Amino acid sequence: MATNIFTQSEDVAVLMVPFPLQGHLNQLLHLSRLISASGVAVHYVGTATHNRQARRRVQGWDPISTSNIFFHEFQSLCFNSLPPDPNASIKFPSHLQPLFDALHYLRRPVGDLLRDLSAASRRVVVIYDSLMGSVVQDFVKFPNAESYIFHSVSAYTIFFFLWETNGRPFAVEPEILAGLPSLEGCFTPEFLKFVVKQHKYLKMNSGRIYNTCRVVESPFLEMLEKPHISGNKKQWALGPFNPVVAGERNKESRHKCLKWLDRQARNSVIFVSFGTTTTLSNHQIHELATGLEKSGQKFVWVVRDADSGDVFRADGRKTQLPVGFEERVRERGFVVRDWAPQLEILGHSGTGGFMSHCGWNSCMESISMGKAIAAWPMHSDQPRNTVLITRVLRTGLVVRDWVRREDLVDAAAVEAAVRTLMASEEGEEMRKRAAELGAAVRKAAGEGGATRLELDTFISHITRYS
């Protein structure tokens, strides 16, 4: 691993600029793995804290042992680090807004690195999260640099966002529009202003990259390719970015929940986790615990608040479960209070389903591992991802409708969802479809598969001599 050091000139250098939330950091670090495997040098940038976070939490491979991924660590940002609010009416992690507002300070160090890479390389390829447009804007100063936007959400979600933003320029089949939720309640007003600001810098890109594949979202990728939406720019569906075979980074230090899963029957456990940007109220946690207990099903439950701006600060609340809960479910439930290796859990043979917030990173990991989802959207793209999973792909069910997002999900609803997914004929059909879709995705990502060929096409494009 090297940091801000150039030991030799590079023919083509990829500059990877992620947005500093876990689901974004993770996706672009996984994409770095795919690109670097083709012999192209990748420079992954961020603050020292967020690069450490990305490396610490990555699963299925070891970025430290990859010789042509270089981490460039900038000085940590100064911002007011607030705790998450479990009782907020909008579940979007507004406590992270000070971090988002401080990101503009990364423009100068990223620009300096661009200058150095441009001088040392025939071509510099900037791949940046769509929420980092202002940070990478100076790439236009370098004639041998080009940029590609990475959208961290599903093709389904980004298509409808762009289609609506552009005034619905063409008709869409009524059945595709059926059930499309509004964006009301998905974001805070402050974050929407931030998004608008970032999108001002997206026009100079040479194309778009998606963490999805045509096996999963072909109709929506085709609609994204229409000139009204794409502007005739190139697009690539290169996902899933994550490893599609659930390897373990260090078997000597396996998480204790994986050892517990080793003792469970195949497909018998539901994994319950709502990602790194969700904080539930004490009342909701109590109802969720009661529902899991009453369901009679085995489970692994990650009980934790949303990440702070610095995940290495141990200042979160201690979540209180019902009195005696862990003792009563000891034989069939496993509670995790820290960060959990989600990809490895989903890839474990003992895991049969996933109760999830439906963030896209979680969706793609679940799809690639062939697991059905009990969808409980909280904010952002999650309500629309839920529709994709449950209505389009039919590989899951809804725990709570988005129109009732302000309602408490009581224990009875949790129990019903878990029983349906894990112990009913309806759930068995969903899990069968999920397993078949996962197999198709893994085949497409393998040697000679459609996704692998699309990745090869992208690599050929960025290393071209024209």
What pTM, to 2 d.p., does this model score?
Answer: 0.94
Q: What would the pLDDT profile of 149-176 be if each residue is shown by its tens digit?
A: 999 999 999 999 999 988 999 999 988 8
Helix (H, G, I), strand (E, B) or coil at 298: strand
Q: What is the mean predicted confidence (pLDDT) over 399-422?
A: 96
At residue 408, the pLDDT reads 96
Scored b (16 or more CB within 10 A) or e, 273-295 reads bbbbbbbbeeebbbbbbbbbbeb
What integer pLDDT is reported at residue 6 of this predicted model?
46
Q: Which of 50, 72, 129, 357 is catalytic?
A: 129
| Active-site residue identified among 24, 50, 348, 379 | 24
- pLDDT, one tens digit per residue, over 207-216 is 999 999 999 9
- At 203, is the pLDDT very low, low, confident or very high (cuts 50, 70, 90)? confident
Q: Evaluate whether 445 touches 241 at the Cβ level (below 8 Å).
A: no
Who's near 251: CB < 8 A, 6+ residues apart?
Answer: none
pLDDT over 90, % of the chain: 86
Residue pair 257/231 in contact (Cβ under 8 Å)? The answer is: no
129 is catalytic: yes
